[in-house]
Amino acid sequence: MSGPVPDPELQVDDLVKHYRGVKAVDGVSFEVRPGEVVGLLGPNGAGKTTTLRMIAGILTPTSGRVLVGGHDVRHDPLRAKHRVGFLSGDTQLYQRLSPREVLRYFGRLYGLTGAALEGRIERLVAELEMGAFADRACGTLSSGQRQRANIARAFLHAPALLVLDEPTTALDVISGQFIVEAIRRERAAGRAVLFSTHIMGEAEYLCDRLVLILGGRVVDQGALPDLLARSGRDNLTDAFLWHAGRAGAGAGA
């Protein structure tokens, strides 16, 4: 780190992804710094999930670059992945293993062993109140319990960057609260958090900065007051709709 502004933990440069001729992501660039929560905001199909998957190293970008802690995800995937905790609605757990076994397995994959691993697991089980179901097979858990186990899985190796793909979607208020608290705790611990959502309220009250994405392109980014000022609207939903309208008009012209 140099000076008062820390180096970005995540740096995304001109990221492009084509799926069989369709441009799902078309030149996306932004940064996330340690201790910062950035929201990736956009409608369904805007390219949020694809962008986050490329950051997590699950998909290979058609072009562009993702740096995590200075490591290029494509060329040095193992080191980059060590710094990322990824969580999405699609990341499921092994049904025939218990949460504790899943955590042990992933812990080993992340290079944790022995007492350090067990200690970390116990802390997460306590923090996320998983004691009651930590030894039952994941297939028998409720969706809220599963999501908590999943959070533990993503946070297990104390990643410097958390990438959360619509983490609260399909969760009830109480389960969602675990996520919100976890995000706040991680920010306080100086970690960088990037999460995608299409729920404006959640974005408004959690995020330090927002990246608005439409049709695979970033239409605006910055702190909430700046976004509102630029669009001339007084709330995020209207600002977003204003951008959507401009993009639609641009595409029509």
Query: Of 6, 77, 144, 222, which lies in the binding site for another protein, with binding defined by CB under 8 A?
Result: 77
**Number of neighbouring beta carbons within 10 Å of residue 211:** 26
Tell which positions 108-127 bind another protein, by CB under 8 A. Answer: 108-111
Cβ-based neighbour number of residue 150 at 10 Å: 23
3-class secondary-structure state, position 248 = helix
Q: Does 142 bind another protein (CB under 8 A)?
A: no
- Is 195 a residue that touches another protein (CB under 8 A)? no
Please give the Cα distance from 34 to 10 (Å, whole number): 9
Q: Is residue 244 a contact point for another protein (CB under 8 A)?
A: no
State yes or no: residue 169 binds another protein (CB under 8 A).
no
Q: How far is CA 135 from the centre of its chain?
A: 27
Residues linked to residue 85 through DSSP beta bridges, in sequence order: 162
Residue 15's region, left for phi above 0, alpha for psi from -120 to 50, else beta, is beta
Taking CB under 8 A as the criterion, the residue among 13, 27, 62, 208 binding another protein is 62
Cα atoms in the Cβ-side hemisphere of radius 13 Å centred on 20: 0
Among 70, 95, 129, 250, interactor with another protein by CB under 8 A:
95
Which one of 29, 35, 82, 144 is in contact with another protein (CB under 8 A)?
Answer: 82
* Residue 209 contacts another protein per CB under 8 A: no
Q: Is 23 in the site for another protein (CB under 8 A)?
A: no
Sheet with 10-19, strands from edge to edge, namely: 22-32, 10-19, 63-68, 71-72
Write out the residues near another protein by the rule CB under 8 A.
20, 53, 56-60, 62-63, 77-79, 81-82, 84, 86, 88, 90-97, 101, 105-106, 108-111, 137, 153
